[in-house]
Structures are given as structure tokens and as C-alpha cells.
Amino acid sequence: MKNWLIQLRAGRLIVASVVFSVVLAEIIVVAMSRWLHAEVRYDFLLTGFVTATIVSFIVVTIIQVIVRALQTTDEQLLERTLYLDSILQSTGDTLIIALDTAFRVKYLNAMAERVLDISAGKAQGQRISELVDNVRREHFEQAMRAATPGRGHSFAFSYELEEATHYFEATLTEILHRNRLAGFLLVAHDATDRKRLEETLRNLSYQDGLTGIANRRRFDEKLDQEWRRAAREHQPISLIMLDIDFFKNYNDHYGHPAGDECLKRLAQVLAETVARPGDIAARYGGEEFAAILPNTSLLGAEKLAEQIRAHVEGLELPHANSAVSPWVTVSVGLATRIPGNDDTAAVLLEGADRALYKAKQAGRNCVVSDHH
């Protein structure tokens, strides 16, 4: 269409149009003259020529003005379309998909093409649920069912891009034209970096700043989770608690920097020994440490507790002010329970703490089990 518009503006085409109009008008005048007067009257020819020329120029001028207006509108529309497409394509980590009322694809930006692994041309006319795998199809179909006229719907999904998992937060909103539903707009932002940062911050909030193992907050959450799981599955759960023997004397003699290093070495032993998936080693507070052992019997917990005690003594960290050994040692208490309907994790915690107290009474550097 644009080529025709350009040709209509060309001077030669305008002249040709005028000449054609005049000739056509003269033919009509001659025919009318012969029909009315049985001869060709030259005054009719002159009048027809002048009139046809004037009318032709007026008509062509009007057409030219209309064509120029159409061309200007066409250029403006094209320019706006290019700008809009450039904006949509430069949205970086934002996925944009336009859908009709039947959720068929009308538009994909570059990020959407990457995620769905399909070109915009091939995706045209296909339902969005047909372009995603089975894992994510339910997410999209739920969003489409929830996005009824008058409200949108937010949901999240993930995709593998460049051998890494990307997390998207999406919103499906309606597109209105003259107050009538014309389609839907799906906008999804890549929230991977933010989620990774949140995960990092969450891990840091669960980590003891000195030793690097789990802190008391993480210990409390994990104990509650594993206790409830053990109750559901009717499985045993064990808890080990240990305390460095005469640690105040150690700090007084060697200084707090050496005391911090001692705590780090003990935490390392604990982390290396309590290494089964699902288990967790934590700094309970001060010089006291703990280990949660899901699906572990009393016998299994006793063996692991003795390994921890022996490994700590095997470090041979000098402790000149210890009353039980020339080396740093630990007292260990443990308890095992199969949760009952009315029990709480406090039962297990109290049992392990009671056993730790008995280990200290028994002379320290030993393991004691709670048999309640």
C-alpha cells in the first residue's frame, strides 16, 4: 500500500490522471452533442474541456491531500509500532505475552521466545498452555481459570535457562477495548537474583557467625519440623547435646581468641561427624552444641555421640586447667523418643539436657543416655 501512496503523489501520475479525466469528459461531451443536436458542437467541446480540466484538478488535489494525510497517519502508526516493539523487546528479564480471549498467543517478546523456546511467528494462534511442558501447564491453566473479567491473577513458575533454574513471578491481567474484554496480558519478571539473595540472607540468618554451623534459631525450627515428621511416621528421633568441659577455665587461661578457635574446631568435628542427609549440627549457645538425628535409634545415637567425644579428645587441644584431661574434652548427653500424640519436642530436649547434666556429674568426658 505504501508504494501506491508514493506513486499517487508522483507528478507524472497526477498529470496522467488529469489528462485521462479531460479526454474522458470530451468523449462524453461529443456523445451528448451528437445525441442532442445530431452534430458535434464546438462550443460544447470548449465548455466541456474547461469544465473537465477544472474539475479534474480539484478532484486530483483533494485525492492528493487525502493520500498525504493517510500516508502521514500510516507513518505515525508505523513509528509508534516500532517504538512500542522496541520497548517491549528491550525489557530485558521481563517476559511479555499478549493473548486473545481464548488464550491464544497474539504477541511474544524476545524474553518470552527464549523461555518458551519458540519464535513469535510459530507461536501465533496457539494456546499458551500448549507451549509449556506438563510441569508448568497446570500453573498456567490455573491462572487462566482464575483470571476472570474484572480481575487478574498472580502466580509463580520456574524454567531452566542456560543450565540454570530461573524463577518468574507472573501476573495475568485483562485487556479491555471500549469496556469489553479483548484479551489478556501475561507479564512475568525474572526474580531469580532476588530469590537467590533472599535464600542467601535466609541461610545467613540460620548460620552461627563464629562457627559456621546452624545457629539456635535454625536448631529450634529443625527440631520442631523433625519432631512432627517423626510423629506422623511413628519413627524415632534422637538428640545429642554436648558441652566443652571447663570452658570458662580454658578462656581464662588461654584468652577469648583461643576460646573462639576451640569452638570452631569442635564445630568442625561435629559437622564432619553428623554428615547424614537430614541430620543437623548446631551451636546451641555459648560452649554448648547439639545434633538432631531423625530416624535414629538410641543405639545409633550412642555410637555417633561416642565418635564425637573421641574425635574431640583426639584433637589434643591443650587444656591446662581441665580437671579431667590435659586436652579439651566434652560431656555428652542424648535422648531418643518416638513422639506420642500429646508429646512435644520439649520432651526430647529435656531428656537430652538431663542426660548432659548426668554426664557432668559422672566425671565429664563421657556419654550418658536418657532412658525415660
Catalytic residue numbers, as ranges: 287
What gap in Å lies between CA 104 and CA 125, rounded to an integer? 5
With beta carbons less than 8 A apart as the criterion, state whether 302 and 310 touch.
no
Q: What is the CA radius of gyration of the chain?
A: 42
What gap in Å lies between CA 243 and CA 284, rounded to an integer? 10
325 Cα distance to chain centroid: 55
Looking at residue 118, its amino acid is I
63, 69, 71, 74 alpha-carbon torsion, rounded to 10°? -140
What gap in Å lies between CA 116 and CA 252, rounded to an integer? 64
With beta carbons less than 8 A apart as the criterion, state whether 250 and 320 touch.
no
325: Cα within 13 Å, side-chain hemisphere: 22
Q: What number of residues does the chain have?
A: 372
